[in-house]
Structure 1
Amino acid sequence: MSRPPRVLLGLWPDDRGTQYADQLVDGGDGSIELGYFSWREALLGSYDVFHVHWPEMLVRGSTRLESLLRRRALALVLWRCRLRRVPVVRTVHNATPHEPGSRAEQRVLAACDRATSGVIRLTTHTDVAFGSFVATIPHGHYRPRFDALPREAQVPGRLLFIGIVRPYKGVLDLIRVFRSLDDPALSLRVVGAPSPGQGELVTREAGDDPRVSTELSFVSDADFVREISAAELVVFPYRRMLNSGVLLAALSVDRPVLVPRSPVNEAIADEVGREWFVFYDRLDAPGLAQALRDVRARSLRGRPELSARDWPAVARAHRKVYLSALREAGRG
């Protein structure tokens, strides 16, 4: 191919803050042309590779009719890719969708899996049952954008949950555990847009405890950095945890994290420095208080080691996957 391959990302542009796609687009060296998703481009445009990230997000609409039309549109896009020998590459961010979809959705997602040639996983602990080849490319860090933003002074005793509030993330459990602690010097911030129904539950669980405060909406990059930098410890009360961009965001702002013990989190800790991690097997009040004492005793200096997650290296690794997929499709 005499020109840079053009890759259509299965992600819409989003101006609410730094997203995975923004980092991938900005981290490239121009040898690959990356474009954001639109249905018009996917159905009528000219591109060499279709790179899917969260396929369920492409087919979920605000009404049943919109969801039906999106499912059919994605099926048509996959048919068009097969007809034009456009390889489909998929990044597996999660083992399954965060919220289960309908049977009709599951059928079109299965078709997307069958159409996929190259699969990108973020860790070696992600099992992949589809695709003709698999590459492991770690999630990049957020320093290129976050280092330019102002930080807040750390608030002693401040614990933070930040990110989309979803049931599997255990935010309600965290609030209950925190409220069982009677230390008036502690505070808990819950920051992030709630999935349907979660905002009311968070507000109810927080009750009238003056130590618990919330910001239940999307926040800008600047506010994101301010919230993380003000925390003494960023807490991930997840009931299951595979890949987390927020984890990399917290480490990018040089804050220690409390995470569930898992092979993925253990591996990241070994990579970036175990002193930045506190693990738990079951989140409870004594463990939460002890985690804060452990972090204070470490007197953390320097920064987590994130050089293996520099975005130029991540972008180069993506380029190799795209070229391999094109060769496999007979277009290399």
Structure 2
Amino acid sequence: MVLTLHNLRPHEGATRLESLFLRWFRKLTREAITLIDGVHAGLVAHYIPHGHYKDVYPATGPVSADSDVVAFVGAVRAYKGVDRLVQVFVNHPSNEFRLIVAGGVSDPRLGDEVRALGGHDERVELRLTSLTSNELSDIIDQCFLIVLPFREVLNSGTALLALSLGRPVLMPLGPGSAALQVEFGARWVRTYEGDLTGDVLIGQATQARDDIRRGLGELNWESREWDEIARRHAEVYYLAAGMVRER
């Protein structure tokens, strides 16, 4: 068995049965793959980064400092801190920016909470429904910054999606965001420490727009090209099977 470490533990906890299966899987694991170099959860793990999404979603236009939209996109779940994002945005007096929250909600109570927080504010647009690839790309195309205020996260596919479509991201500081920042630069991957506040959000958005005017620089995706990732995965699976792959 080959185990890929996406996160160190389930986002929303695990049932007793799930915990038993996870422990069993670890005992069966021959090789492990980590998506962040140095994060291995006690296993000897091969570092293979997650691939980009440049060819998966419809292309967006270049990021523009003329946009006033910051956005959260993706499934709305409790650990992602969307309620906190809407709350601090609504409570901040600045009228300089607009907020879009777009993505499906699996917990009706969370959806109701987010609507109660932001539904009355004309600066906030809530699209709490599952999105097609075209709809997702269209929303990202409108904004200049993607905000991902996760309460706890190691890897974020949404962050990679945003970067793949040419949009900088704002995330809490942690191993995953720190690694992305080293790879892509602090202008593309912005971080904050502690709880998200309105001043942090508006301040980071203002700085992000200034950076866009100065130029963000080009992103290098060489290590995240899918052909290279496939080759490295194949090598790990050959190791797990006790085979030596011919080159």
TM-score, normalised relative to structure 1: 0.67
In the other structure, the counterpart of 1:122 is: 35
In the other structure, the counterpart of 1:310 is: 225
1:103-153 Cα deviation digits (max 9, x unpaired)? 1221122112211111111002423235xx42110011111223x535598
Aligned AA (2:222): S
The runs of 5 or more residues in structure 1 that have no matched partner are 1-87
In 1, the alpha carbon distance for the partners of 2:143 and 2:46 equals 35
Q: Name which structure has the greater RCO, CA cutoff 8 Å, separation 6+.
A: 2
Are 2:155 and 1:240 aligned?
Answer: no
In 2, the alpha carbon distance for the partners of 1:245 and 1:92 equals 13
What RMSD, in angstroms, separates the aligned Cα atoms of the two structures? Answer: 2.2
Are 2:241 and 1:326 aligned?
Answer: yes
CA contact (8 A) 1:258 1:279 kept: yes
In the other structure, the counterpart of 2:176 is: 264
In 2, the alpha carbon distance for the partners of 1:112 and 1:276 equals 36
SS at match of 2:9: coil
User: How many angstroms does 1:315 deviate by?
Assistant: 0.7
Are 2:126 and 1:211 aligned?
Answer: no
In 1, the alpha carbon distance for the partners of 2:38 and 2:176 equals 6
1:107 to 7, 16, 20: 20
User: How many angstroms does 1:314 deviate by?
Assistant: 0.8
In the other structure, the counterpart of 2:143 is: 231
In 2, the alpha carbon distance for the partners of 1:301 and 1:262 equals 22
User: How many angstroms does 1:168 deviate by?
Assistant: 1.2
TM-score, normalised relative to structure 2: 0.89
In 1, the alpha carbon distance for the partners of 2:74 and 2:229 equals 23
In the other structure, the counterpart of 1:62 is: none
Are 2:98 and 1:183 aligned?
Answer: no
**Equivalences, count:** 241
Identity %: 32
The runs of 5 or more residues in structure 2 that have no matched partner are none
After superposition, the Cα gap between the structure-2 partners of 1:134 and 1:236, relative to the gap in structure 1 and judged at 3 Å, is same
